[in-house]
Structure 1
Amino acid sequence: MQLWLRIPLGKPDDDSKTLQTQDDYWKIWNSFRLLSDHNSKLLVTLDNLNTMPSDNSLNHWYGEPVAAFIIHTDSFLTRDGDNPKHLSEGIQKLITYFLNHYTQIIISENQLNCSKDEESHLETNSAEDSRIHRLLPYIDQVRSIYQQMDPLSEQERSQVAFRDVLHPILQPFKEISQSMVYSEQEKDEKKYMEYKRAICQALLDRVPDEEASVITTVLVVVGAGRGALVRTSLQAANETGRKLKVYAMDRNLNALASLYKQRESMGWNDIVTVIQTDAGHWNAPEKADILVGELLGCFGDNELASEILDGTQRILKKDGISIPSSYTSFLQPVKSSKLYSAVKAKEQILTFETAFVTKMHNVARLAPCQPLFTFTHPKRSIKESNRRYRKLQFVMPDVPESTMVHGFAGYFDATLYKDVHLGTEPSKATPDVFSCKRVPHSSQHDISFYRPYDIIVELSTLLYWPAS
């Protein structure tokens, strides 16, 4: 059984002293939520109160488990001779937001305001009344708002099932990626398009036009998998007219089996050499001009990109090029009751110290992102450590007087080469990129935990800590 707590959405724009402030209404809900220890069966129903609340009062409810939104029939406006009725633009936007977040819309009529004719009409219960319900014009208005909503793109439709669902982050040194992970990553055409742009620029900078037919560029793919980056590199070489020699390195023999078959069928035997080994253990027969890897996780460095690329730097020429050349992680405080409850439901304390990947949807972003850690490749000084520590202070100018911080969302922005970027940080996210993050996986991993902090990672990254 679920319990829906009915809360007024905001304070009317008058001097009525019978209502509390907008902030107090949210505090009432929050006190119930905390007393129930964020129980996932406690939800909120917002009552519109025939008013259009301010933006600040609406901000309170973003990221909350709103089960239903109540609209009173008095909120519907009537033009002269207009039937059915219509809603103000502000309330229409509000309904659109709630429909996008699977919130039920309830149309409420105060029978005390009905005219005598309407009351007698209710009492007749005629066949016509049962066929044409009195609230049908109001329902049609809400239906028309739904029909006017922008349709989801094909990519967005494919991600609906993953909205606000937690998935473990890929741990490359702990687990061997399954074929499904590679299959999903290879569908990310936009990501490989950006990699191809970066490799094209690197090849053009590395080899001048007059020597294109003479010089062969040595390119090493770290974490080649089933060969997506190998194909991308060869396409870049073909477009730029440069000669290329590729070493494809990966420790996952199951993935490389597919690459071996491609090499045979595509006639790459003289161009591509496949090596099954850990990146740090390979003794390269020659130094690389370009080092390429798609090791970036949803938080930038959370899949050991910095450690792996540093470990392979010894096979890169002193003037060699690393793709990616740098990347920065970002943090943002967020409120998401659904995700916090999902972490809590795992009933292991250390879940709150674990990073997860999710497609964040019902979430309130409380302050702008701030940069956290930056890594640059190749690392010119071997004395430079990858240890990082930073203290951030967030200012939340647009949030109401009181709010709940459930945790942090994590993002990244990477420079592949020169002006070619790839990332998920909201202000400059690469459009249509989705596989820079953990692909949902059929198996779940149990992890031991100790303290109540948690970290989440949106197709980006979500980093949670105790709600406060």
Structure 2
Amino acid sequence: MSGDGDQEKFKRMSCGLELDCPASIQDALSKSTSDGYHFIVTCLIHPQYHRTIQKRVVTSKSISRTDRILTGNDWTRLIVGKLSTLQVDSEIKHVKERSEIILKQELGFASHLGLPAIMIQLHQKSNPNLAHILHNTFLNGANYQVWVTLPMVHPSKYTPLCEKNEIEDSWEWWNDLRRYCRYDKRLGLVLEMPNVGEVPSKIEMDRWVGEPIKAIIIPTYLFLTNGHNQPVLSKVHQEIIQRFLLIDVQYIIRGPLRSSSYKQYNSYIHFLGKKLYKESTVMEFVQGCEDYLQNPLQPLSEHLETMIYEVFERDQVKYVEYQKAIQRALEDIPKEITTPVIMVLGAGRGPLVQAVINASILTQRKIKVYAVEKNPFAINTLEDRVLNEWGNIVTLINEDMRTYQPPEQADILVSELLGSFGDNELSPECLDGAQRFLKKPGGISIPQSYTSYLAPFQSTKIFNEIRSNKPDDKTIETIYETPYVVHMVNYYQIADSKALFKFEHPNWDENKSNERFKTIKFLCPQNCLLTGFLGFFETVLYKDVMLSINPQTYSSNMVSWFPIIFPLQHPINVAENDIIEVSMWRSESNEKVWYEWCLESPVKGHISNPNGRSYFIKKH
């Protein structure tokens, strides 16, 4: 706690200690726990137990120390088991067969102990037989995680002896293995921290952040000693740790003691959780929403609840910009219009009405306000605000804006009907229906326009979240033909977003249609795994006043909207310099609006969500 009583902000850091074969695992666990470590990593099979194999059967009766040396609770919470170094993909038959038998025995023993995770090091790029064994283990019900250990940067990239065509990529080794295992969520990744001069490039690091990383191994030789004789990490290594703070990564200390005690390494990692943690409005707002799938709102067919209104209203950035736009619009209304009429469409609990009133005070313009809201329960709140805050300046209308018949025309229409993709909460349909009571010419719509954006992304975390949360009444095809709203954390955006669909208001074109179609292309900067497309939007509220969740133009600290995702049912391997091409449709009928999407390149896919069969937005 700080001196003024405010709670100190920090990132909780979970730290483990790797101990190959301690003489007493009980003592090692007790000591590491007292030093603040949350778990230890140790050999699953003690090397003193020799295993004899005859006719593909292990004949040795004892394979390791008895499980009674720890309680079941300790095994299941505090121990990560390291597997023996084995060669199940060896080209030498007897080596391969012996390795298979031992690996299967160790996997079985891990299940017997109830370990939360086991760790296995990869020693080559191609591991089809290892993947075969692991995948079958998963299918047979193994409930532990398998942590695949790899260097963050493959040594061949920094070895002078390697020719260019011999350079390996650790990510490719990982990607090969998880593809064999159908991206099983029990397969995780442990990365070994590189030396100072061998750190990954920015785009390589971006790609790692999009992977299911369970832990970062920090060898003790990477620690420096500061002026207080305490172990510290270089600025380069601190920057790497900072990149992983947003995802639930643990840290494993490995190697001989180079300080007075292992406790110092753990204390330093926890110190970094305070030093490197950057508190922000967004981080505080989205806590608990990370990579959590949400269904997009259906605001025309379902009344919003109090909690949703509260979430919207906490975003002051949005309402400050709206107020600025309304103020500028009022300044542009001719002075001969003594009392401009402003209609707030979809007033909710009144934040936009308040922004309108604030703008009128700042511009010293007398106004008349109509607050149109179809939700009868939100009207209850608006009635209270009229009575106690706004007075007769505001007239409440409990009707659907598309059918409401106003007594007079408006100089300004103000609405916040935008979803994560701009048009996905039917703002075009609603505003097209309401613009009949906007003065023509000269009437102003706020917003004036909005544009959706699309970008390819990689995230097996999101891919597995969709697969593992399948409702009983839905098919696999259905759940991957549904867009989701997600606060993305454990992902890699493969390329910058590009503009997709644009809508402008008012739209006086008598032949207007809100259906759209467009094909866009992206250049892939490095080998990666395409799992879907991210959707964003930008909106021009009025003139130069904008709001955006598009990463290139993001409105700082705005939290009202998370991105929308359009998933692919099957992840696609994409090579460096490949073209990712996608076609997107916005379609409608009398009853609904829906999106369809189709991957065109690097492989031809099928059209997802044809005729809105899996997902659509209701018009009524």
Q: TM-score, length-normalised on structure 2? A: 0.64
Residue matched to 2:571: 467
Q: Which one of the candidate residues 289, 297, 309 is aligned to 1:170?
A: 297
- Compared with structure 1, are the counterparts of its residues 68 and 279 closer, same or farther at alpha carbon in structure 2 (3 Å cutoff)? same
Shift, 1:85, TM fit? 3.8
Shift, 1:36, TM fit? 2.4
Q: Superposition pairs for residues 182-193 of structure 1, below 5 Å?
A: 182-193=309-320
Residue identity matched to 1:37: R
In the alignment, the residues of structure 1 paired with residue 194 and residue 557 of structure 2 have an alpha-carbon distance, to the nearest angstrom, of 40
In the alignment, the residues of structure 2 paired with residue 72 and residue 245 of structure 1 have an alpha-carbon distance, to the nearest angstrom, of 68
Shift, 1:133, TM fit? 6.2
Q: Superposition pairs for residues 1-400 of structure 1, below 5 Å?
A: 1-12=144-155, 13-15=158-160, 24-48=169-193, 50=195, 52-55=198-201, 57-77=204-224, 83-109=229-255, 134-208=261-335, 211=336, 215-269=338-392, 271-318=393-440, 319-347=442-470, 348-349=475-476, 350-397=478-525, 400=526
Q: Is the 8 A contact 2:209 2:244 kept in 1?
A: no
Shift, 1:364, TM fit? 1.1
Does residue 1:430 correspond to 2:573, yes or no? no
In the alignment, the residues of structure 2 paired with residue 59 and residue 186 of structure 1 have an alpha-carbon distance, to the nearest angstrom, of 33
Shift, 1:54, TM fit? 2.7
Residue identity matched to 1:232: A
Q: Which one of the candidate residues 535, 542, 547 is aligned to 1:410?
A: 535
Shift, 1:19, TM fit? 13
The structure with more radius of gyration: 2
Q: Is the 8 A contact 1:10 1:57 kept in 2?
A: no
In the alignment, the residues of structure 2 paired with residue 230 and residue 299 of structure 1 have an alpha-carbon distance, to the nearest angstrom, of 24
Q: Is the 8 A contact 2:452 2:500 kept in 1?
A: yes
- Higher relative CO (CA 8 A, sep ≥ 6), structure 1 or 2? 1
SS in 1 for 2:506: coil
- Compared with structure 1, are the counterparts of its residues 326 and 345 closer, same or farther at alpha carbon in structure 2 (3 Å cutoff)? same
SS in 2 for 1:181: helix
Q: Is the 8 A contact 2:153 2:169 kept in 1?
A: no
In the alignment, the residues of structure 2 paired with residue 263 and residue 85 of structure 1 have an alpha-carbon distance, to the nearest angstrom, of 63
Q: Is the 8 A contact 2:309 2:348 kept in 1?
A: yes
In the alignment, the residues of structure 1 paired with residue 456 and residue 271 of structure 2 have an alpha-carbon distance, to the nearest angstrom, of 35
Q: TM-score, length-normalised on structure 1? A: 0.84
SS in 2 for 1:64: coil
Q: Is the 8 A contact 2:190 2:215 kept in 1?
A: yes
Aligned-residue sequence identity (percent) comes to 36
In the alignment, the residues of structure 2 paired with residue 98 and residue 352 of structure 1 have an alpha-carbon distance, to the nearest angstrom, of 28
Cα offsets for 1:282-340 (capped at 9, x unmatched): 11111111111000111111110111111111111112000000011111111122111
- Compared with structure 1, are the counterparts of its residues 372 and 39 closer, same or farther at alpha carbon in structure 2 (3 Å cutoff)? same
Residue identity matched to 1:251: K
SS in 2 for 1:238: helix
In the alignment, the residues of structure 2 paired with residue 219 and residue 203 of structure 1 have an alpha-carbon distance, to the nearest angstrom, of 9
Residue identity matched to 2:523: V
- Compared with structure 1, are the counterparts of its residues 261 and 141 closer, same or farther at alpha carbon in structure 2 (3 Å cutoff)? closer
Q: Is the 8 A contact 1:335 1:407 kept in 2?
A: yes
- Compared with structure 1, are the counterparts of its residues 142 and 267 closer, same or farther at alpha carbon in structure 2 (3 Å cutoff)? closer
In the alignment, the residues of structure 1 paired with residue 406 and residue 516 of structure 2 have an alpha-carbon distance, to the nearest angstrom, of 30
Q: Is the 8 A contact 2:285 2:559 kept in 1?
A: no
Q: Is the 8 A contact 1:410 1:460 kept in 2?
A: yes
Shift, 1:180, TM fit? 1.1
The alignment covers a number of residue pairs equal to 418
Residue identity matched to 2:405: N
Residue identity matched to 1:29: W
Shift, 1:261, TM fit? 1.6
> Structure 1: which 5+ residue stretches go unaligned?
119-131, 438-458
